[in-house]
Chains A and B, each alone.
Chain A
Amino acid sequence: MNRITGIAILSVLIFSSALAQNSGQISGSLESNTHYYLRDDLLLITKPENPVASNNYLLLQYNNGPFSGALQYEAYMPPLSGYPYQLEGNRLTYLNFRYTKEVIDVTAGSFYEQFGNGLILRAYESRELGINNAVNGVRVIIKPVKFLRITGILGRTRSYLDISSSYLRGFNTELDIGEVMKTKLGLKLGGGFINRYQEYTGPVFNFPASVNAYSLRLSANYSNLNIETEYANKGIDPSIANLNSMANGGAFLVNGNYTAAGFGIYASARFLKSMDFRSERESYGNYMMINYLPANTWQHTTLLGGIYPYSTQARGEASIQTDINYSLQKGTFPGGSYGTKLRFGFSHVRNLKDTNSPILISFGNQVYYQDLTFEITRKWSPSVKTITALTALKYDKAVIEYPGADFVKAIILNAESQIRISTTFSLRTELQHLWTKQDDGNWLAGLAEVGLAPHLSFFVSDMWNYQNQGAEPHYYNSGISFSTDYMRISTGYGRQREGLICAGGVCQRVPAYRGFNLKLTVNF
């Protein structure tokens, strides 16, 4: 699709909206993220020839009764450090027309879609990682009765700024048995199927050019308890990413929740093997995935909690986790006058006993990752709150990042305070320490943020790897942000650590840099 088409459509949208103010509506968003890179002797970074990089996205949407349309224009000039170089350039990457009325919903053009938990299909966008695998084709959703939904798709997924060479087709059904039976037990059944066809012209006899994957789901919901399960299977799919494995893929997932007033427990287990499913068998890394296999672990967002994030091992792993939230009663001794909240999380990932065995549910003897976190949030007065968290981690860096790396055992302590000085003026601080005898040794980190609601905030932070055998680097950052009702602008200066950056369940290795950043987002 060329830019002229995009501009023509854009003009039509604007003019039609102008002509029919009452019937049509245009909305959209704009995001612009620009970095300016500097030379850094400590990080051994030389200043690039063109030190400016910029990722930009413009989304326009048009709605008029049952009709809607959307387009997205993206420009990477060039892509920011850490993003794939294949994104360089600019293009109209997303364009669709949709008709939704009563039982039918038809989309022609680009669309995002997810079947169940995404074990066989998730077409989505993650700008943080430069991932966008929207399907370009046709999608039809039919809901003939309240308890049944059928989705059919046909198309090709996006690959960087282009379209991949394979074809996807599939369907998904959701059946609400609880609605049919009119019972209190909410029971839902689901099933999905995906076929990917990519032409094969190589010499291997009987090579599977066409790969099928299916999944079956069941969820039950009764009073305070709910459980959902999904089983997925994928056919033989030799690719670069799985080292031309001729194994069938499988996944089994079970999630459960039990809730009571002020209490909630979540537990999950997932087993998977050979589930890496891509739109092109030659691709590698996080790009051009068809399915979604997020890490089944707690997502840490503190400065030091982000140093050792787990990343799913699609060739085979077994994981369990739990997350418990509990609010202590206000006015009691442990709860205090203003309330205390507790959170406990545990996750554990290891290999499967035998990835060649047809038995999927098994635990091997190699630990990939383990995380035990206990967090207390206490409000001491209407204006003072603290969050204290202790995390014990095990992280097999050799499996998760690169061969030969350490098996890291670490303890992280985080002490956070939030102080409201007035109804608009606030101060937030974080102080953290990470202890480890492996990898780069201990870290110390701190952050201070001043908020002037509702428009302005400033922050400074530093992460100091003071036991690093090399340079004991400081990773400092500072920034200011300003927001109005429809716009937010932020700018900063700092030094970024090399490592895994994670968004949602996907992690990506990014290089270190030092420089300035500027981000603008507009919602209109």
Chain B
Amino acid sequence: MKKLSTLIVLLSFTTTGFSQTRLPSVVLKSTDGDEVRLSDYAALKKPLIISFWATYCGPCLEEFEAVTDLYDEWKKEVDFEFIAVSIDDSRSAARVKSMASGKNWPFIVLIDENQDVKRAMNVIDIPFCFIFDKNGKYVYKHSGYLPGDEFVMLKELKKITDE
């Protein structure tokens, strides 16, 4: 326990020097089963919001509903892409496509079935969101979702497009 506490303390001092600064090139799937990589989206040259979720995660669905309601409005203000990365495993991954369509989500939905991308981006619990700038460089992250967090996302997006 002592060693671990030392490690935690050391890490909390050093975390500023570390970070997931690039989009990982780990393979995941589109809802049509095609192979894609998050790093492919860097070619869009747009700010990206990447949000990890699952079909059984209540706060995740709440977040997406809030984003769906504001999506068109945001798009008028900032040219960005929202990518929802599902970590549903083979129990529920097959239902992701019908859920996304049935809920009218306007954004990109991808499936990370064995959670390789989740691990590559050091995500522990969902929902978890990242914002990357148009050069694919990480600028913001947030664990959990509370109503109102979407406005923080928009603020961060505007900050990087104004720069």
Q: Which residues of A contact B34 (CB under 8 A)?
A: 176, 186
Q: How far is the CA of A149 from the CA of B35 in the complex (A)?
A: 10
Decide: B114 and A266 in contact? CB cutoff 8 A: no
Q: How far is the CA of A260 from the CA of B1 in the complex (A)?
A: 54
Which A residues are closer than 8 A to B by beta carbons? 17, 25-32, 54, 56, 58-59, 61, 63, 75, 77, 90, 100, 112-114, 117-118, 122, 124-125, 127, 149, 176, 186, 188, 219, 221, 226, 228, 255, 257-266, 268, 292, 294-296, 299, 301, 323-327, 339, 341, 343, 377, 379, 385, 418, 420, 422-426, 451-454, 457, 481, 483, 485-488, 504-505, 520-524
Decide: A523 and B143 in contact? CB cutoff 8 A: yes
Closest chain A CB from B155 CB (angstroms): 10
Closest chain B CB from A227 CB (angstroms): 10
Decide: A420 and B147 in contact? CB cutoff 8 A: yes
Q: Which 4 A-B pairs have CB atoms at the shortest separation, nearest pair first? A: A325-B102, A264-B98, A453-B148, A294-B91
Closest chain B CB from A54 CB (angstroms): 7
Q: How far is the CA of A339 from the CA of B69 in the complex (A)?
A: 10
Decide: B122 and A27 in contact? CB cutoff 8 A: yes
Q: How far is the CA of A454 from the CA of B65 in the complex (A)?
A: 17
Decide: B115 and A124 in contact? CB cutoff 8 A: yes
Given A186-B32, A522-B12, residue A295 in contact with residue B101 (CB < 8 A): no
Closest chain A CB from B108 CB (angstroms): 15
CB contact list, B20-67 vs A, under 8 A: 20-22, 25, 32-35, 55-58, 62, 65
Decide: A343 and B102 in contact? CB cutoff 8 A: yes
**Interface residue from B20, B65, B143, B144 paired with A27 (Cβ < 8 Å):** B20
Decide: B142 and A454 in contact? CB cutoff 8 A: yes
Which B residues are closer than 8 A to A by beta carbons? 1, 4, 7-8, 11-12, 15, 18-22, 25, 32-35, 55-58, 62, 65, 69, 89-92, 94-95, 97-104, 113-116, 119-125, 128, 140-144, 146-149, 151-152
Residue of A nearest to B56 (CB): A299
Given A294-B91, A453-B149, residue A325 in contact with residue B97 (CB < 8 A): no
Closest chain A CB from B20 CB (angstroms): 4
Q: Which residues of A contact B56 (CB under 8 A)?
A: 299, 301
**Interface residue from B98, B103, B115 paired with A266 (Cβ < 8 Å):** B98
Q: Which residues of B contact A25 (CB under 8 A)?
A: 20-22
Q: Which residues of B contact A117 (CB under 8 A)?
A: 90
